Structure 1
Amino acid sequence: MSMSDASGTSGGRERLVVVGGDAAGMSAASQARRLKGPDELEIVAFERGHFTSYSACGIPYWVGGQVDDRDELIARTPEEHRSRGIDLRLRTEVVEIDVDRGRVRARDVDTGAEAWTSYDKLVIATGARPIRPDMPGAGAPGVHGVQTLDDGQELLDTLTRARGRRAVVVGAGYIGVEMAEALINRGYGVTVVNRGAEPMATLDPDMGRLVREAMEGMGITMVNDAEVTKILTGDDGRVRAVATEAAEYPADVVVLGIGVRPQTALARAAGLPLGERGGLLTDLAMRVRGHEDIWAGGDCVEVLDLVAGRERHVALGTHANKHGQVIGTNVGGGYATFPGVVGTAVSKVCDLEIARTGLREKDARRAGLRFETVTIESTSRAGYYPGASPMTVKMLAEQRTGRLLGVQIVGREGAGKRVDIAAVALTAGLTVEQMTALDLGYAPPFSPVWDPVLVAARKAAGKVRGASQGAPV
């Protein structure tokens, strides 16, 4: 059934249409509303799910029980958005963008009714979708991707109903290791099946090995260099095992943690420009390239990697919220830009903290850079202070110039957020020699006299100097 939207703009007002009601979309809508009142700008937002403005990053901690209530993950409810003059339409999915006529076609998820809505300005914030393997059983009951609050609720419902306590996580990236922790906390025996040689492909393999050893020490069964070929089901149609070419792993629940892809089918069908990874391409103002009145942000876009100098897809809520602020400012008549990212991310599995920023070795090689690497062992606090825990820091620096290229950190409490020192240094374009003079805070409860990141910088600076002195003129 199709309905027609009467609506063009009225009374001289412009209309902003937002597709997607999470971080980027509703941040854009809220910021635009702060700058322009309802008499100047009408805002219509479409969200196909039940929730808006929530922390998808918090879902593993809700599933694992560290967060008691789903509503704690919601930053702003639909009612709060509506009270600010935003026409928010839940359970309504945009199924077509008509760029030539400046309108979108939306479908009511529950009734199937459709209507066209015109726009003067459009924001695309459709997010990303979990990668589901194309194999038998991937859609069986008990198999879950985890990207939205609705996904999290479905997984919790399965955990409540499951007859056994065996879980298999497919994939060992950020989502995989966080969900492994959540399932351990729920009392499940957990097997992680990973196609790579080591978990956390966002790290170099030597650092990933440290993560594997720690996970195995926590009782998680790690199966590396293994490709899932099918998901087996029982007589009731529900999942019963995950199969690789070599073995079967019994499962009462399966969580897919093999990454996400930009959700850009709508944009592709509308002829909007997409990058190598399938994300929308924008300018620094987050305006879709070649389209004056269309913006895009969040997990559906590709952004500039400031270190490698190329676009990449990075699905993080921190970026999505910044994109939304930039878009809303520009839609509202101001001016703002999003210059790019350096690739900073942190995660944890039980008490192990994992962090990275900048380039891995293979990223640097792909970018045509020559580099030196160093790895150091240190502690989170002064060695004599109670609670000091080991920490491994790996650093990459460009040959000759000494420019910092990347840092990876694996350790216990106090390790993860140290990566922020390196993220700032990367953004500022510092050399490892310059980093050694950074005036960081020191007291025995917080760090050794030389912070582990600065110890790595000193070692890297020495290696760069040595390579330069030995290089032919």
Structure 2
Amino acid sequence: MDMSAARERLVVIGGDAAGMSAASQARRLKGPDELEIVAFERGHFTSYSACGIPYWVGGDVSAPEELIARTPEEHRARDIDLRMRTEVTEIDVAGGRVRARDVDSGAESWTSYDKLVIATGARPIRPDMPGADAPGVHGVQTLDDGQALLDSLARTRGRRAVVVGAGYIGVEMAEALINRGYEVTAVNRGSEPMSTLDPDMGRLVHEAMEGLGITMVNNTQVTKVLTGEDGRVRAVATQDAEYPADVVVLGIGVRPETTLAVAAGLPLGAHHGLLTDLAMRVRGHENIWAGGDCVEVLDLVSGQERHIALGTHANKHGQVIGTNIGGGYATFPGVVGTAVSKVCDLEIARTGLREKDARRAGLQFEAVTIESTSRAGYYPNASLMTVKMLAERRTGRLLGVQIVGREGAGKRVDIAAVALTACMTVEQMTTLDLGYAPPFSPVWDPVLVAARKASRAVQQRP
């Protein structure tokens, strides 16, 4: 009997976290005699940490190789036919095949599939304005992008940088450029940096950025990129001013890369990300899965679909997809929206809903803010942190937490992330048995202090 006739083929589009996690997990569960795996990656790298790019640009990480979890050769050694510098240009859903183009030679070919994984990631948002594609203007999403930015910095004689946007990417890139000795201006259309926080908490980040020497320009939108006689960027313009720039970094976020999915008629959500079921299968398509930055996920707190580009989610998606393709069973129930970052030694964390998220979801809430210390007040190097907590009126259900502070502040948000996942009330949180010793926490951990205050606010509300 010819066993090769029964072998299925899995095709994976995208060679980073979600795609290669799915391929690797499927390979663990099914050998090459049962499942052939072909993966396409248009770039030069696989299985890397895009989240580490700002630290590479800033000099904390010395080389891109340090950000790579598994090389193409390592994937191939596990019987995964990984084709680098090959871009999928079309998905033929009815025919069960994909068209791929060799980026260097231009040669095209079709590859059939029995099962398909779409892990095309996200692309940096490039504003629709004159000069946005000029030399010296960079998005930062892939290792190729990071290398292009470093090459640009090496060629640039001037030392003036403008970062457009002040979310996670913008803030981290502003710090990276400061570390490289650049004079940095961050132009932000919001009232404060870090729009993932409420403005009162974002103000603390603003103060920290200015303390680093970063010039913050809030409530302002860039309208064009100005270029010199050589065609390279020389400044960015807003409605009211010009800001000289030898290099511009776009840090205004990303969008799901779903160009292929749109052309193939696959279902998208309100944020233009692919819609999947709990098994990460594309809705309405039995043999197509999707994961990573190209999908939308369920927010467990608001009950609404969201687009969140994070490597943690992408790797989990890949594990779920690979398990299901390999004959097992796994689901991805959703997220609570946890994220952490830093500006110098200031740690920034959030989980759950902001005030405007809660209002948009139709929830009424109490919001409280407290200041506490990272350690017992008498223990050396105790530092202040600010904790903001939202609780639903009447029920007291925890809705969200934001934390800004120094050492030990950021990862405290994980306490709240677990509480949100467990649908705990703030009153229930006050009795959590958290670890205590003076070097690590006051007797009442700052998160519990905020929970006590939120609980009182809920109880006092008529």
TM-score using structure 2 length? 0.99
2:150 is the alignment partner of 1:156 = yes
Compute the displacement of 1:11 (Å).
Answer: 2.8
CA contact (8 A) 2:115 2:288 kept: yes
Q: Could you tell me which residue of structure 1 aligns to residue 380 of structure 2?
A: 386
Matching residue within 10, 16, 19 for 1:16? 10
* Aligned residues: CA RMSD: 0.8
Q: Could you tell me which residue of structure 2 aligns to residue 288 of structure 1?
A: 282
Matches within 5 A, 1:440-459: 440-459=434-453
Compute the displacement of 1:357 (Å).
Answer: 0.2
Q: Give the whole-Å Cα distance in 2 for the aligned partners of 1:389 and 1:153.
A: 37
Q: Could you tell me which residue of structure 2 aligns to residue 167 of structure 1?
A: 161
2:137 is the alignment partner of 1:133 = no
SS in 1 for 2:206: helix
Matching residue within 179, 183, 202 for 1:185? 179
Q: Could you tell me which residue of structure 1 aligns to residue 341 of structure 2?
A: 347
2:346 is the alignment partner of 1:313 = no
Compute the displacement of 1:160 (Å).
Answer: 1.0
Q: What are the superposed Cα offsets for residues 255-307 of structure 1, whole Å, 9 maximum, x if unpaired? A: 00000000001001100000000000000000000000000000000000000
Q: Give the whole-Å Cα distance in 1 for the aligned partners of 2:402 and 2:49.
A: 25
Q: Give the whole-Å Cα distance in 1 for the aligned partners of 2:118 and 2:421.
A: 27
CA contact (8 A) 2:131 2:226 kept: yes
Q: Give the whole-Å Cα distance in 2 for the aligned partners of 1:349 and 1:79.
A: 36
SS in 2 for 1:385: coil
Compute the displacement of 1:10 (Å).
Answer: 4.5
2:99 is the alignment partner of 1:99 = no
Q: Give the whole-Å Cα distance in 1 for the aligned partners of 2:16 and 2:444.
A: 41
Matching residue within 230, 241, 249 for 2:235? 241
Q: Could you tell me which residue of structure 2 aligns to residue 331 of structure 1?
A: 325
2:201 is the alignment partner of 1:210 = no
What is the aligned length?
A: 460
Q: Give the whole-Å Cα distance in 1 for the aligned partners of 2:189 and 2:36.
A: 48
Structure 1 unaligned regions, length at least 5: 1-8
SS in 1 for 2:6: coil
Q: Give the whole-Å Cα distance in 2 for the aligned partners of 1:349 and 1:377.
A: 19
Amino acid at match of 1:403: R
SS in 1 for 2:349: strand
Q: Could you tell me which residue of structure 2 aligns to residue 363 of structure 1?
A: 357
SS in 2 for 1:11: helix
Q: Give the whole-Å Cα distance in 2 for the aligned partners of 1:380 and 1:141.
A: 45
SS in 2 for 1:95: strand
2:435 is the alignment partner of 1:435 = no
Compute the displacement of 1:218 (Å).
Answer: 1.4
Q: Could you tell me which residue of structure 1 aligns to residue 402 of structure 2?
A: 408
Q: Could you tell me which residue of structure 2 aligns to residue 117 of structure 1?
A: 111
Q: Could you tell me which residue of structure 1 aligns to residue 456 of structure 2?
A: 462
Matching residue within 253, 256, 262 for 1:262? 256
Q: Which consecutive aligned stretches of 4+ in structure 1 deviate over 3 angstroms post-superposition?
A: none
Q: Could you tell me which residue of structure 2 aligns to residue 59 of structure 1?
A: 53
Compute the displacement of 1:12 (Å).
Answer: 1.5
Compute the displacement of 1:79 (Å).
Answer: 0.1
SS in 2 for 1:24: helix
Q: Give the whole-Å Cα distance in 1 for the aligned partners of 2:307 and 2:86.
A: 26
SS in 1 for 2:342: strand
2:303 is the alignment partner of 1:304 = no
Structure 2 unaligned regions, length at least 5: none
2:23 is the alignment partner of 1:46 = no
Q: Give the whole-Å Cα distance in 1 for the aligned partners of 2:436 and 2:445.
A: 8
CA contact (8 A) 2:4 2:33 kept: no
Query: What is the aligned-residue identity percentage?
Result: 87
Compute the displacement of 1:145 (Å).
Answer: 0.1
Q: What are the superposed Cα offsets for residues 53-76 of structure 1, whole Å, 9 maximum, x if unpaired? A: 000000000000001111000000
